[in-house]
Chain A
Amino acid sequence: MKSNTVLQIVIGGYLVLFFAYLFLPLAFMGVVAFNTSSIPQVTPWEGFTFHWFGVLFADSQMWQGLGNSFIVAFFVVIFSVSIGLGATLFLTRMRFKGRDGAYAILVSPILTPGIILGISTFLFWDKAFHLSGGLWTAIMGQTTFISGYCMLLIMARAQRFDKTQEDAAFDLGATHGQVFWKITLPFLRPALLSAAALAFMQSFENYNTTLFAIGFEQTLPIYIGSKLRQFISPAMNALAVVFIVLTIIGAAVYEYRRRRESVAAG
Chain B
Amino acid sequence: MLKSVGEAVEFNHVSMRYPGTESNAVTDANVHIKAGEFFSFLGPSGCGKTTLLRLVSGFLDPTEGEVRIGGKDMRGIGPNKRPTAMIFQNLALFPLMSVAQNIGFGLEVRGVSKTERLKKAVELLELVDLPGVENKMVGDLSGGQMQRVAIARGLAVEPAVLLLDEPLSALDLKLRQHMRTELRKIQRRTGVTFVYITHDQGEALTMSDRVGVMTGQGVIDQIATADQLYNEPQTAFVADFVGENNAFAGAVTETDGDYAILNTESGSLKGRNRLNLNSGQKAIAFVRPEAILLAEDSTAVENILKFTVKNLSFEGSFITVFLDTPGGQTCVMKQNNDGSTPLMQTGTEIKVCFSAENTQLLPYGEVSYA
- State if A and B touch, Cβ cutoff 8 Å: yes
A266 beta carbon closer than 8 Å to chain B? no
Q: Are A168 and B109 touching (Cβ within 8 A)? A: no
B243 within 8 A of A: no
A-B contact count (CB 8 A): 62
Beyond A164-B88, A175-B109, whether A170 also contacts B94 by CB under 8 A is no
- Taking a contact as CB atoms closer than 8 A, the residue among B59, B78, B89, B106 that contacts A172 in the complex is B106
Which A residues touch B80, using CB under 8 A?
Answer: 170-175
- Bound-state Cα–Cα, A195 to B32, Å: 52
8 Å CB contact of B86 from A168, A175, A183, A187: A168
Contacting residues, chain B, for A165 (C-beta < 8 A): 92-94
Nearest residue (CB) in A for B150 is: A168
Contact (Cβ within 8 A) A182 B92: no
- When A186-B96, A187-B96 are in contact, do A171 and B90 touch as well, CB less than 8 Å? no
Are B85 and A171 interface neighbours, CB within 8 A? yes
- Tell whether B79 is near chain A: CB-to-CB under 8 Å: yes
Q: How far is the CB of B236 from chain A (nearest CB, A)?
A: 35
| Closest CB in chain A relative to B258 CB, distance in Å | 48
Report if B360 contacts A (CB, 8 A): no
* Chain A hits for B88, CB < 8 A: 164, 167-168
For the complex, count residues of A whose C-beta is within 8 A of B. Answer: 17
Closest CB-CB distance, B139 to chain A, in whole Å? 12
* Residue of A164, A169, A172 with highest tally of chain B CB at under 10 A: A172
**Which listed residue (B57, B93, B94, B110) contacts A171, Cβ 8 A?**
B57
A100 at the interface (CB under 8 A from B): no
Q: State A172–B58 Cα separation when bound (angstroms).
A: 12
| B 150-165 contacts with A by CB, 8 A | 153-154, 156-157
Chain A residues near B154 (CB-CB < 8 A): 172
Q: Are A173 and B96 in contact (CB under 8 A)?
A: no
Interface size class of B (residues with CB under 8 A): 20 to 34
A171 touches B84 (CB 8 A): yes
Contact indicator B92/A172 (Cβ below 8 Å)? no
Mask, A156-189, CB within 8 Å of B = 1, is: 0000001011011111111100100011001100
Chain A contacts with B in 33-85, Cβ cutoff 8 A: none
Residues from 64 to 99 in B contacting A, C-beta threshold 8 Å: 78-81, 84-86, 88-90, 92-94, 96
Q: Which residue from A162, A172, A175 sits with its C-beta under 8 Å from B85?
A: A172
Chain A residues with Cβ below 8 Å from B153 are 168, 172
Given contacts A167-B79, A167-B88, contact A174 B96 (CB under 8 A): no
Residues in B whose Cβ lies below 8 Å from that of A175? 80, 109
User: B109 is contacted by which of A167, A173, A186, A187 (Cβ under 8 Å)?
Assistant: A173
Instruction: Flag if A170 contacts B79 (CB, 8 Å).
Output: yes
User: Which residues 135-173 of A have a CB within 8 angstroms of B?
Assistant: 162, 164-165, 167-173
Cβ of B105 within 8 Å of any chain A Cβ, yes or no, is yes
Taken together as a complex, chains A and B put the C-alpha atoms of A171 and B54 apart, in Å, by: 10
Cα-based distance from A108 to B298 in the complex (angstroms): 80
| Complex Cα–Cα for A173 and B88 (A) | 15
State the Cβ distance, B101 to closest chain A Cβ, in Å. Answer: 10
With contacts A167-B59, A167-B79, A168-B86 taken as known, whether A173 is within 8 angstroms of B106 at the C-beta atoms is yes
- B105 lies within 8 A of A170 (CB): no
Residues in chain B near residue A169, CB distance under 8 A: 94, 105, 109
| Least distance between B193 CB and chain A CB atoms (Å) | 16
Task: Return the CB mask of A175-218 against B: 1 if under 8 Å, else 0.
Answer: 10010001100110000000000000000000000000000000
**Contact sample, A vs B, 14 pairs, CB 8 Å cutoff:** A167-B88, A168-B88, A168-B153, A169-B109, A171-B79, A171-B80, A172-B153, A172-B154, A173-B80, A173-B81, A174-B105, A174-B106, A175-B80, A187-B96
Known: A165-B93, A172-B157. 16 other contacts (CB 8 A): A164-B88, A168-B88, A168-B153, A169-B94, A169-B109, A170-B80, A171-B58, A172-B80, A172-B109, A172-B154, A173-B81, A173-B106, A173-B109, A174-B105, A175-B80, A182-B109
Q: Which residues of B contact A (CB under 8 A)?
A: 57-59, 78-81, 84-86, 88-90, 92-94, 96, 105-106, 108-110, 153-154, 156-157
